Chain A
Amino acid sequence: MNLLLLLIVPLIAAIGIMLSPRVSAVRQISLAASLVQLMLVGWLLFQMLNSRSVSAQPLYFEQVYQWFPSWNIQFHIGVDGIAISMMILTALVVLAGVLVSWQESILPKEFFFLLMFLSLGAYGFFMARDIFTLFFFLELAVIPKFLLIGIWGSGQKQYSAMKLALMLMAGSALVFVGLTGIYLEAHSFDLTVLSATHFPVAFQYLFYPLLFVGFGIFAALFPFHTWVPDGHASAPTAASMFLAGISMKLGGYGCLRVASFLMPDAAIHYAPVIIILSTCAILYGAFVTLMQSDLKYMNAYSSVSHCGFVMLGIGVFNTTSVYGAILQMISHGLMTALFFAAIGMIYYRTHTRKIPELGGLLAKLPFISTVFVIAGLCSLGLPGLSGFVAEMTVFVGSWENKSLWVRLATILSCASIVVTAVYILRASGKVIMGPIRETFVNLSDAVWYEKMAAIFLLAGIFVMGIAPFLLQYIIGNEAAAIVKQGTQVLINK
């Protein structure tokens, strides 16, 4: 299959949305485009698995086009299991996002246009095999994010939009300096070429932090996570889903694919720092979440905590932990998107997100309440749901590291699950259970598009939770290859 299709579909959809005269056409185009994307990604997965059973390759559906020959820059795309699984996540979240915003009444045309543009950036990012292209798609999201939060958001939306745009731009600036270093060292941006290059250790020590922190800002690396709560809380539902579900994963993916993959020596050298920072994020995020009374802030801080697990997995950098980090990216993407969707549905009906002002919704909103509880249970790591699989793998991976400090960090991180349980159960109890408030007596439950959105995400969560071996089959080897590449370099030295 031609990978360019995945870029062309959102592009055509975006243009179609801009040209379409009616709001209903705008919605239909967006829905059709995101459905087509989901099918394309599914077909991609199917084809990859087919061709892999014949002979395993490092990269599938590879395409190379000359772009700026005098710089040796190619438009190089291709996917492996990790990229495909991230794309499935993207397709699911975007589809759910479109469905959830079905009734968007303020400037609907622009809203869906920007949403399509965001998804274009994410697909491009995951399929890029040239870090110039990757960087291009990483920054592509700045404009849509800024406008989506600033125009359609709530609360301090302008402040949040500005903060998010500037902090992410600062991350990009760090990444850019790192890319410059890589280019001047290897005279190429191509990941395939770069992975065969061994960078001098002193060089790695200098540039690894730039790249890691740069991508880390996107992935809410402590202490650069401050854009997360404001950005997520102010954004409209679909944008929150995208930000937490996909955008933060761009950072994790970049840390793994660019920083740690290319500079394994430095990854091992800086591992203690990363592990300490991610443990801080996990604990800090969990405890701050306890204090929140706004549902969106609660989920945003809990995202900081959960993304800490991703960074922990990357920091420990062994086969199991990296595999766990990828699982956690997917799991958190699905879970947090579902949570934001549920919060959005509640907010749409009750016009409040404050936990003390809500109560007894189960009686009137059984579907939404169930979704809310499932998302919460997934967040606290209930077995059978995706959160358990991912977090467990990260813990097992980091326990494999026999250093006392890493084990201590692992224990502390594990302990955060208890805190998670406290805030999730408390919030569910207050919002869902108990006597219903008088003002909420006339509420009506989810309609078809909201149900569809939730069902798509729930399907992902359940499949991953019940049959994790499927993902093991898709990404297990690739995760191992990333780490093996690193350790081989170390042995060769």
Chain B
Amino acid sequence: MLVYEWLILKQEIFLSFLIVGILLLWLFRDISNETWIRIMNIFLFINILIGFTGFHYGKLFGDTFQSSPLILFEKVLLSFALWLISLFSYDWLRKMKNLPEFYLLLLTSLLGMYIMLSASNLLLFYLGLEMSTLPLAGAANFEFNSKKSSESAMKLVLSSAFSSAILLMGISWLYGMMGSLDYAVISTQIGHSPLAVLAFLFILSGFAFKISAVPFHLWTADVYQGAPVAVTAFLSVVSKSAVIMVMIPFLYQTFEEKIDVWYPALIMLALASVLVANLFAVQQINIKRLLAFSSIAQVGFLLIGLSAHTQTGATSVLFFLIIYLFSNLAAFGVVSVFSSEYGKEEIQQLSGLYSTHPFLSWVLALSLFSLAGIPPTAGFFGKFFLLLSGANKGNYWVIAIAAINMVISLYYYLRVVKTIFMNHPVSPMENKPLAFPVRLALVICLLGILVVGFLGGFYEHIFQLLNGIN
């Protein structure tokens, strides 16, 4: 085997070295938190750049590990999101004890996602999935003094263990039937036996748990509310995106033959998610819980696009994920500033924010408009294409229900905007200047929200990457 064949593992190798390096540095050097954050931000940025160094195609380990431009692109996206999270959590991270642990946990989780994305074998996939989930429970418990944080970690562990068990059950049945866990084998031999359908449904519900689609969503709101904002952002953006990215080839190629099972299942999950999440979101008073339900609703929209089973459908899903990344991270970035600086997480406490923090207000408002799908933000384009591709089988009623839900969702996003811009301040907040990394992260997100939607060329690039997806 030649050395350069191993270079398709470049990102995984880099991350592994980074993780070990953090451990060693932590052992032997006493470094201040600020320096840690600075070093880590630089390395996380390098991690993004490594994605652009070539070595696109290849297979390793008896064809269980593969790489392609698409997978590389997806890994870069995830790394980018982690970098943004690290930037905007600056204020919160600065005050933490055991700061390196935070990076250790999140980097391990990211490594797990890389493996999950590259896997072409269910066993390796399962390894990656577990590796990406378990560290997050530790990260969710990162505020040691807060009971809510521990509660959220406990809930995350239990629910993810439960969903993994279901997933594993499905995987083992498939192995029992076919004697192989390779995607290639599964896609040709799965057949139409009832056991295969059941096994597939188990796997699908495992996925649904991870992306918290209704009715597998019950853990989401509590975990999101209790966990520190940075971890919530990671859970809602990076974890979800990774699983949905895996679902694209999973449903379109590996289990293509089961389309008559997954298509109605996806539609049901999608409509349930959109409806239930919106109805719950309307009543929320805590902004993190609101964003939790809003992210469930967004997953519903994503699943509608995913159900299209076309190249344009896959493109719109990936395109929307990028937009969702910018919008949701911008919202969480602003929430993070308020929860770490002022200890405020309730919508009511944001009253009259505009008079003291105009920049943060605009960022939050535009990110919410983007989540609601209103132009000129990118969310409009994302939602439009998702629903347009979801309609390609002629099921207009699905699109009609989704469109009604866009109106409902606008209501609760507008409620926050209204509070920010139109209510009178309850307690005046002093305007502390934002730290440079926070400002950088928010400006990047804002640019993403305003620009990405218009970039037709970028959309076409993703379209090309997904060539041959079905």
Contacts and interface: CB of A to CB of B under 8 A. Distances in A.
B460 interface: yes
B140 interface: no
A181 B375 CA distance: 21
B369 A143 contact: yes
Contact of B407 (A136, A158, A173): A173
B414 A68 contact: no
Interface string B423-458: 000000000000000000000000000000000100
Give chain A's interface residue range (CB within 8 Å of chain B).
35 or more
A374 to B, nearest CB: 35
A146 B312 contact: no
B43 interface: no
Contacts of B388: 71, 180, 183
A150 B421 contact: yes
Interface stretch (A83-91, A163-171, A426-434, A473-481): A163-171
B400 interface: yes
Contact of A70 (B391, B421, B463): B463
B456 A150 contact: no
Nearest to B459: A68
A278 to B, nearest CB: 25
Given A66-B456, A162-B414, A180-B387, A151 B315 contact: no
Query: Which residue among A68, A150, A157 has the maximum number of chain B CB atoms within 10 Å of its CB?
Result: A68
B69 interface: no
B218 to A, nearest CB: 29
A94 to B, nearest CB: 18
A77 to B, nearest CB: 15
Contact of B394 (A137, A140, A161, A184): A184
Contact of B380 (A68, A69, A139, A146): A139
Contact of A177 (B315, B385, B399): B399
Given A158-B422, A176-B387, A70 B459 contact: yes
Interface string B388-412: 1001101010011001101100110
Given A180-B388, A184-B391, A173 B375 contact: no
B407 A170 contact: yes
Given A142-B374, A162-B418, A180-B388, A67 B456 contact: yes
Contacts of A390: none
Contacts of A181: 396
Nearest to B408: A166
Given A177-B399, A180-B391, A166 B374 contact: no
A161 B421 CA distance: 12
A140 B422 contact: no
A430 B463 CA distance: 66
Interface string B148-186: 000000000000000000000000000000000000000
A180 B422 contact: no
Contacts of B463: 70
The size bracket of the interface on B is 20 to 34
A169 B422 contact: no
Interface in A135-193: 135-137, 139-140, 142-143, 146-147, 150-151, 157-158, 161-162, 165-166, 169-170, 173-174, 176-177, 180-181, 183-184
Interface in B293-332: 311-312, 315
B375 A136 contact: yes
Contacts, number: 84
Contacts of B385: 68, 71
B460 A169 contact: no
B376 interface: yes
Contact of A151 (B375, B407, B422): B422
B417 interface: yes
Given A139-B374, A184-B392, A69 B456 contact: yes
B375 A139 contact: yes
Contacts of A146: 414, 417
B330 to A, nearest CB: 16
B404 to A, nearest CB: 6
Contact of B400 (A132, A139, A177): A177
A69 B460 contact: yes
Contacts of A70: 311-312, 315, 459-460, 463
B116 to A, nearest CB: 28
B406 A173 contact: yes
A439 to B, nearest CB: 29
A224 B424 CA distance: 32
A150 B422 contact: yes
Contacts of B418: 150, 158, 161-162
B410 A68 contact: no
B459 A165 contact: no
Contact of A173 (B380, B394, B404, B422): B404
Nearest to A179: B388
A171 to B, nearest CB: 9
Contacts of B391: 180, 184
A136 to B, nearest CB: 5
Given A161-B418, A169-B410, A180 B459 contact: no
Contacts of A157: 422
Nearest to B355: A107
B357 to A, nearest CB: 14
Contact of A166 (B410, B422, B460): B410
Interface string B346-380: 00000000000000000000000100001110001
Contacts of A137: 375
Interface string A209-253: 000000000000000000000000000000000000000000000
A147 B415 CA distance: 12
A157 B423 CA distance: 11
A181 B415 CA distance: 31
25 contacts: A68-B456, A68-B459, A68-B460, A70-B315, A70-B460, A71-B385, A137-B375, A142-B374, A146-B417, A150-B422, A158-B418, A162-B414, A165-B410, A165-B414, A166-B410, A169-B406, A173-B407, A174-B403, A176-B399, A176-B403, A177-B396, A177-B399, A180-B388, A180-B399, A183-B388
Interface of A: 66-71, 73, 132, 135-137, 139-140, 142-143, 146-147, 150-151, 157-158, 161-162, 165-166, 169-170, 173-174, 176-177, 180-181, 183-184
By Cβ-Cβ distance, the 5 closest A-B pairs, closest first, are A173-B403, A67-B456, A150-B422, A180-B391, A70-B463
